[in-house]
Amino acid sequence: MAKNKHGGFLQGLLVPLVVIAVWEGASRAGWVNPQILPSPWAVLKKWVEYATPMKPYDPEAGSWLAWAFSGELVMDAIGSLYRVVAGFLIGAGLALPLGLLMGASQRIYGLMNLTVQVIRPIPPIAYIPLAILWFGLGNPPALFLISLGAFFPVLMNTIAGVRQVDSIYLRAARNLGASQSTLFLRVMLPASVPYILSGVRIGIGTAFIVVIVAEMIAVSNGLGFRIMEAREYFWSDKIIAGMITIGLLGLAIDLGMSRLNNHMLRWHRGLEN
Amino acid sequence: MNQAVSSPRIRIEGVHKVFKTDDREVVALKDINLDIPDGQFVCLLGPSGCGKSTLLNAIAGFALPSSGQITTDGRVVTEPGPDRGMVFQEYALFPWMTVEQNVAFGLEIKGMPKAEIGQRVAQLLDKLGLIDFRTRFPKDLSGGMRQRVAIARVLALDSPIMLMDEPFGALDALTRRNLQDELLRIWDEFRKTIVFVTHSIEEAIYLADRIVVMTYRPGTVKRDMLVDLPRLRDPADPQFNALKRELGQLVMEEQQRHHHAEMKAAAVD
C-alpha cells in the first residue's frame, strides 16, 4: 500500500516536470517575451526572494523565529490562511445549526427554504460593493464574503445529510428510550457527518476562492493583494510565484481535510478497502 | 387482587390495524386477541403480508393499532420504550459507534453512572463472545456478530420483553443455528418474554413455546398452538417433523391466498 502511494506521488510529479522543462526550454530559446511569461527559473528566484525576510536578522528586534517568518510571502500566506479559517468558521458555524434544523423540521424547512434558494445562487463576488459599503475596507468585508462563500455548501449538505438518515436508526434509538434531543445530537448529527464533511470540503474550497478575490479588492496584504500589486508593476514572475503559492496552500488544506475526513469517517462503510 | 399476579406480560385485545393508501384501505390486522404470559417464547409465523411484523411494531409502539389496545404489565402501549427492546432484521446498529458504545447507548440514555455502564457492558460482551470486538465498528463485523451486538444492546436494557423481527433472516444456515442456540441460552438465563417474528417454520418449531400462525390479509390468528417438545429440539425428530408438516400445511394455505391476491392485483393493473 505504502509503496503504491509513493509510486503514485512520483508518477504525479512527471507531468509538472515535463511542463516546467518545456516552459524553461521555450524561455531559453527566446520564443516568449519574458515580460509576459518569465522562465521557471526566474519565477523560482523571485519566489525565494519573496519568501525570505526583507531585513537581515537582528537579535535586538525579536526572536529568530519571528524573523524567519517575516518574509513577505510568509506574511501574505498567513494573512490569507487566517481569513479563510476565520471566515469559514463563521460561515460554517452559522450554517451547521440552521442546516440541522432545516433538515430535521419540515416546518423550519418550509419557513426558510425559499429565502435560502433565492440567496444561494448569488455569488459572493456580487456582494463586494455592499460588503465594502457596509464594512468598509480591511478584514471585516473580506470575512463577510468568505463566510458567505462557505455558508451555502455547508448548509445544503447538512440539510441533505439529515434528510438521508436511515429511519431504522431513529427507530432503534427511540426503542432504547432516546429523547428528542438525544435523537438529534447522538443519532441524526453523527449519521449526517459524511454529508456535512463533504459540504465542509466544498465550503473551504469556496472560501479559498473568495479570499483571493476579497484581497484583490478590500485588503492590503495577503496573496490575492500581492498578485494584484505585482500586476501594477508588471512583475509577472511575482504574479506566478504568488499563484503557485496559492496552489500549494490549497493542496495543503485539502490534504488536511482529507486526513480529517478519514479520521472522522473511520466507521463509514465507504472507506472499507 | 391476585389478578396482578396472573395478569399476562403482554395482552393484545381486539387489535385492528388499517393502512390507508391513496385509493384503498388495507386491513393488516383484524381482531387480534392474545395473552402472553411472563417468560413465554412466542413465534409469530406466516407468509409475508400476514401482518406479523405489523403486530410486532404495534407491541413495540412504533405503529399503534387503529383500534383495540396492547398492554404490557398492565400499561397501555402508546410509544416505543426500553421496556420492550427490539432486535431488527437489519441489525440497526449505529455505525458510528463501536460495539461497546452501541451496547452502552441505552444505558447512557437511562442515566446510569459511567462506571456501572462499563462494568455491565463488559459483562454482556463477555457473555456473548464479543469482548475481543468491543472497540470495532459494526462495518468490521460479520452479520452474525452484528446481530449478537444488537441482542447485547437489548439485553443491556434489562427489559422483561424482547421483540425480534426476523432477526436471523439474513444469516447463513450455520450462523443462524448458532445464534438460535445462543438465543435459547440467553432466554433461559435472563428469563425474557420473547415475541419472535419469522416466516421459517423450522425456526419457529426449534425455538418457540408457542406458535401463532397468522392469516394473509386481513391478518388474524389462524392457529395458536403450544410446542411441548423438550429442548434442545432435534429437527430430525419424528415429532418435530409431524409438527413441521402440520404447520407447513397451514402456512401454505395462506401463502396461496397471498399468491392469488397478487395475481388478482396484477390483473387489475
Q: In this predicted model, what pLDDT tens digit does every residue of B9-43 receive, in sequence order? A: 999 999 999 998 888 888 999 999 999 999 999 99
Residue A78 shares a structural domain with residue A17:
no
Residue A247 shares a structural domain with residue A216:
yes
**What three-state secondary structure class fits A178?**
coil
Strands B210-214 and B75-76: unpaired
Tell me, yes or no, if B96 comes closer than 8 A to chain A by beta carbon.
yes
**What pLDDT score does B1 carry?**
40
Alpha carbon distance, N-terminus to C-terminus of chain B = 57
Average confidence score pLDDT of chain A: 91
In chain B, % of residues over pLDDT 90? 87
Q: Which of residues 14 through 33 in chain B touch A, CB cutoff 8 A?
A: none
Q: In this predicted model, what pLDDT tens digit does every residue of A72-121 receive, in sequence order? A: 999 999 999 999 999 999 999 999 999 999 999 999 999 999 999 999 99
- B96 interaction partners in chain A (CB closer than 8 Å): 190-191, 193, 267-268
Residue A68's domain comprises 36-271
Residue A106 shares a structural domain with residue A3:
no
Stated pTM of the model: 0.85
* B230 upstream amide cis, omega within 30 of 0: no
Residue A51 shares a structural domain with residue A85:
yes
Number of domains, chain A: 2
| Inter-chain residue contact B90 with A171, CB threshold 8 Å | no
Residue A212 shares a structural domain with residue A118:
yes
Residue A134 shares a structural domain with residue A246:
yes
Residue A209 shares a structural domain with residue A94:
yes
| Among chain A residues, CA nearest to B90 | A168
- B138 interaction partners in chain A (CB closer than 8 Å): 267
Residue A46 shares a structural domain with residue A3:
no
**What pLDDT score does B23 carry?**
83
- A177 interaction partners in chain B (CB closer than 8 Å): 80-82, 106, 109-110, 157
Task: Output the tens digit of pLDDT for each of chain B's 269 residues.
Answer: 444 455 799 999 999 999 988 888 889 999 999 999 999 999 999 988 889 999 999 999 999 999 999 999 999 999 999 999 999 999 999 999 999 999 999 999 999 999 999 999 999 999 999 999 999 999 999 999 999 999 999 999 999 999 999 999 989 999 999 999 999 999 999 999 999 999 999 999 999 999 999 999 899 999 999 999 999 999 999 999 999 999 999 999 998 988 888 888 888 76
pLDDT of residue A1 exceeding 50: no
**What pLDDT score does A7 carry?**
66
Nearest to A267 among B80, B96, B153 (CB): B96
- Best B94, B163, B195 residue to mutate vs chain A (most A CBs within 10 Å): B94
Q: What is the ipTM of this complex?
A: 0.91
Residue A257 shares a structural domain with residue A164:
yes
Nearest to B139 among A168, A169, A269 (CB): A269
Nearest to B109 by CA among B60, B63, B158: B158
**What three-state secondary structure class fits B145?**
helix
Residue A72 shares a structural domain with residue A24:
no
**What three-state secondary structure class fits B191?**
coil
Residue A27 shares a structural domain with residue A131:
no
Domains of chain B: 3-83+164-268 (3.40.50.300), 93-158 (no CATH)
Residue A162 shares a structural domain with residue A95:
yes
Nearest to B96 among A171, A191, A272 (CB): A191
Better-predicted residue by pLDDT, B9 or A1: B9
- b or e along A181-208 (b: 16 or more beta carbons within 10 Å of the residue's beta carbon)? ebbeebbbbbbbbbbbbbbbbbbbbbbb
